[in-house]
Amino acid sequence: MSGGGSPRDAGTGGGAGTGTATPGRGPRTRGWQRSLKGYADEVRGRVRVGERGPILVVLGLIVIWLIFQSLDDNFLSPRNLSNLSVEIVGTGLVAVGIVFVLLIGEIDLSVGSVSGLSGAVFAVLNVNLGMPEWLAVIVGVASGMAVGAFQGAFFAWLGVPAFVVTLAGLLVWNGLTLYLLGASGTINIDEEGLVASLTSEYFGAMAVAYGLAAIGTAGYLLAALRHRNRNKAAGMPNRPLSEIWVRGGALAVLAFGTAHTLNRFQGLPLALLIFLVVLVVSDYVLRRTRYGRKVYALGGGVEAARRAGVGVERVRIAMFMVSGTLAAIGGLFVASGLTSASPTTARAAGSGMLLINAIAAAVIGGTSLFGGRGSPWSVLLGVLVIQSIASGMALLGVEDSVQFMITGGVLLAAVAADSLSRRAETPGGRPRAG
Amino acid sequence: MTFPPVLSLRGISKRFGGVQALLDVELQLRAGEVVALAGDNGAGKSTLIKVISGVGPADRGVIEWEGRLVHIKRPHDAHALGIATVYQDLAMCDNLDVVGNLFLGREIDRVGILDEVEMERRARELMRTLSIRIPDVRMPVAALSAGQRQAVAISRSLMGAPKVLLLDEPTAALGVEQTSHLLDLIEQVRDRGMAILLISHNMGDIKAVADRVAVLRLGRNNGLFDVSTASQEQIISSITGAADNAVAHRTAGTEEAWP
Ligand SMILES: Nc1ncnc2c1ncn2[C@@H]1O[C@H](COP(=O)(O)OP(=O)(O)O)[C@@H](O)[C@H]1O
Ligand SMILES: [Mg+2]
């Protein structure tokens, strides 16, 4: 983060690395043993508090990919994977919004309708009323934020359960969308415009995708080494250095592999870049800032948070605003993919498919429905699973009816896993808040 | 004993709908002294703690801090004065680790960015000075035992170097060994010159650490005893109400009625 400091930090990090490696075979073996034991302890600790590592989901994703690849050998083609990386973004952004609400232990059922609303608001203002595109985008996104503020206030101040407020919202905002589109029917948006480019723009130069992979890997390594050095300076125990390199190596393989695949098609999609930026920023805010700590605290114990001086109502409203805003932005990506806003897609948005996919994406990735656990990154993995299934079934020509049942089943399985891990978390009858 | 009390309450009253939870209650806390607050279930002990900690301010009454009149309307006010509280329910954020819970609401940060390293360092230091053994300060509190949670809750309350510590039934959920650890901790804190108000149902705990016992009954003061001179029977009968009409009700059976 601090431009001048990082290179020097990296230097000392390298030095420390050589230091641990020199003593020879014996200590190094011990180091590895310690690291293995540490890792085992960590996993055990996590299992005890009901956190699932990403390993299972990654394995699941690999299995899904292999199955679809064996059924249709176009599935893992650069073209299809590149398209997948664009298709995940609309649902993914909506799901990131849901994560914010899930973290405080609530739910927002209106996100599908809100995403439809913002697409319609944008299309009506820009195409029908001739408002400049950038302004129409802002108003579309702001409409989602306003909806979130409204629903959040109902919940936080009036004490109406969030699922009821947002269930009503699901119908109301969908009705409003149909009303807005009612006069004109389907509105085709400008295919050369800003919103259309969200899903059609690619950075064709190979350097862009590879550069991003390099920045991501280097950023991770620098941050991890810097943290390690600060820990060391404070005389506190550290994770073994080998762990940082293993994780960094895995990240590098993943990042450069993805970049390579994308470059074999049309390069880095703008949509994917935006999605990654949203993930990085929201993860940073949630896990590294004071404000984010309040959000997690609220999900872990409202009473404790209130006593610690957290403005519970304000944080609650803010989280619904974030979810409304991200739903609206996700809606623009959906409209961009279709280059239109139409009553048909609005009805589809209100039917709950997008909502279910978004919730499933968040929960599959490891965000808990019970609050306080998870992170925006969980969405990346979850939405890849969900969208891979959808895209694979579309490729194979599976009918909607079957797709619905499979998607519903996947959501149910993810939620069941979440509930089971939560049950495992409470070993004895520990006194709980309240 | 000639110092003015750190905290002095007079005429504290509070009502919940039809229930007069507190009526004209008085209480004084002095530095380096442990006062036990005893009373039957529903006597108003927790309510009194919430009055002092700002969670549930009184309807009427006067609070003096080091001899001067203060108003405690929010938890923040109590905090600012130097009053720390460990509530009966030990409300914590189960998903956050020990460090996160210790620093909740007063995180160390640089322009809003958490300084995890410094927080962890101070957390370890605090655990060391209080001789509290926790497997790992980076463990979510959900994975801790009842005694460990209690210890974390108390360390959390000691973070801001408070002058008054309020403990609401801290030993209720603990086993024998954990309880004796806790009583050691309380003595250690008292010896640093802190004033402690300890709500307890347990005569053994009271005898072990308290200097004085204040008894509440049906929301009113019902006696103040010096632990070294008062007999256990005296204290108990004042709690159960036998002392309301001492001559008629004082019987040998009172002690067995103790829960
Ligand atoms: N928030 C509340 N609302 C209504 N009544 C309450 C509330 N808190 C306490 N009371 C009542 O006030 C009385 C004193 O309660 P409390 O202070 O919890 O007693 P205890 O001495 O057991 O801690 C009880 O009759 C209780 O029912
Ligand atoms: Mg009580």
**CA distance to partner chain B, nearest, from residue A223 (Å):** 13
Identity of the residue in A227, A288, A372 whose CB atom sits nearest the CB atom of B95: A372
CB contact under 8 A, B140 and A49: yes
- pLDDT of res. A8: 32
Instruction: Say whether pLDDT at A2 is over 50.
Output: no
**Quick one: what percent of chain B has pLDDT higher than 70?**
92
In B, which residues are within 8 Å of A48 by CB distance? 142-143
CB of A188 within 8 Å of any CB in chain B? no
Q: Give residue B45 CA to ligand 2 midpoint distance, Å.
A: 6
Q: Is the Cβ of B147 closer than 8 Å to some Cβ of chain A?
A: no
Residue A30 above 90 pLDDT? no
Chain CA centroid to CA B116, Å: 29
**CA-based nearest residue to A107, from A158, A153, A172, A161:** A161
The highest-confidence range among A323-327, B141-145, B184-188, by mean pLDDT, is A323-327
- Mean pLDDT, range A152-177, rounded to an integer: 96
Chain A residues inside the 8 Å CB shell of B117: 227, 230-231, 234, 236
Q: A305 to chain B, minimum CA–CA distance in Å? A: 7
Average pLDDT over every residue of A381-386? 95
Answer whether B95 sits within 8 Å of A300, measured CB to CB.
Answer: yes
Average pLDDT over residues A32-36: 51
**Position B241 pLDDT exceeds 90:** no
| Dihedral Cα A304, A309, A311, A315, nearest 10 deg | -60
> How confident is the model at residue A1, as a pLDDT?
34
For residue B82, the distance in angstroms to the closest alpha carbon of chain A comes to 14
Task: Say if A424 is an interface residue toward chain B (CB within 8 Å).
Answer: no
Across B100-127, average pLDDT: 94
A236 touches chain B (CB under 8 A): yes
Distance CA B137, CA B98 (A): 5
Per-residue 3-state assignment (H helix, E strand, C coil) for B179-236: HHHHHHHHHHHHHCCCEEEEECCCHHHHHHHCCEEEEEECCEEEEEEECCCCCHHHHH
Which range is most confident: A39-48, A55-64, A376-385? A376-385
| CB contact (8 A) between residue A293 and residue B104 | yes
Nearest CA to ligand 1 atom 20: B42
B122 touches chain A (CB under 8 A): no
pLDDT in tens, A178-217: 999 987 889 999 999 999 999 999 999 999 999 999 999 9
Q: Does residue A307 belong to the interface with chain B, where contact is any CB pair within 8 Å?
A: yes
Of the given ranges (A123-127, A172-176, A303-307), which has the lowest mean pLDDT? Answer: A303-307
Tokens representing A266 are 């049309």
For residue A333, pLDDT beyond 90: yes
Q: Which pLDDT value is given to residue A386? A: 94
What pLDDT is stored for residue A353 in this prediction?
86
pLDDT at B181 (0 to 100): 84
The helix or strand, by DSSP H or E, that contains position B164, with its residue range, turns out to be strand B164-168
User: Poorest-confidence range of A21-25, A152-156, B22-26, B197-201?
Assistant: A21-25
Q: pLDDT value at position A53?
A: 66
The alpha carbon of B155 and the centre of ligand 2 are apart by a number of angstroms equal to: 21
What's the average model confidence in pLDDT over A379-385?
95
- Taking residues A377-392, what's their average pLDDT? 93
**Average of pLDDT values for B158-186?**
87
pLDDT at A182: 87
Closest CA to A181 of A295, A308, A348, A37: A348
pLDDT tier at A32 (50, 70, 90 boundaries)?
Answer: very low
Render A30-65 in DSSP notation, one character per residue.
HHHHHHHHHHHHHHHHHHHTTPPPSHHHHHHHHHHH
Please write the tens of the pLDDT for every residue from A283-314: 999 999 999 999 999 999 999 998 888 999 99
Shortest distance between the Cα of A194 and any Cα of chain B, in A, equals: 34
Beta-carbon contacts below 8 Å between A and B:
105
Inform me whether the pLDDT recorded for A400 exceeds 60. yes
**The pLDDT of residue B48 is above 70:** yes
* Ligand 1 site residues, Cβ closer than 6 angstroms: B 16, 19, 21, 39, 41-47
Cβ-nearest to B112 among A227, A289, A303? A289
- Residue A434: HSE in the Cβ half-sphere, 13 Å Cα cutoff: 7
pLDDT at A418: 85
Does pLDDT of A14 surpass 60?
Answer: no
Average pLDDT score over chain A: 86
Across the range A89-111, mean pLDDT stands at 97
Distance separating alpha carbons of residues B177 and B146, to the nearest angstrom: 12
Confidence band of A6 (pLDDT split at 50, 70, 90): very low
A-chain CB neighbours of B169 within 8 Å are: none
Nearest protein CA to atom 26 of ligand 1, as residue? B42
* Residue contact B142–A49, C-beta within 8 A: yes
Residue B78 contacts residue B85 (beta carbons within 8 Å): yes
ipTM of the complex: 0.82
pLDDT(A394) > 50: yes
Domains (range + CATH), chain B: 7-82+162-247 (3.40.50.300)
Which residue puts its alpha carbon closest to atom 1 of ligand 1?
Answer: B16
> pTM value?
0.84
CB A327 within 8 A of CB A338: no
Q: pLDDT confidence of B215, banded at 50, 70, 90?
A: very high
B31 pLDDT higher than 80 = yes
Q: Whose CA is nearest to atom 25 of ligand 1?
A: B42
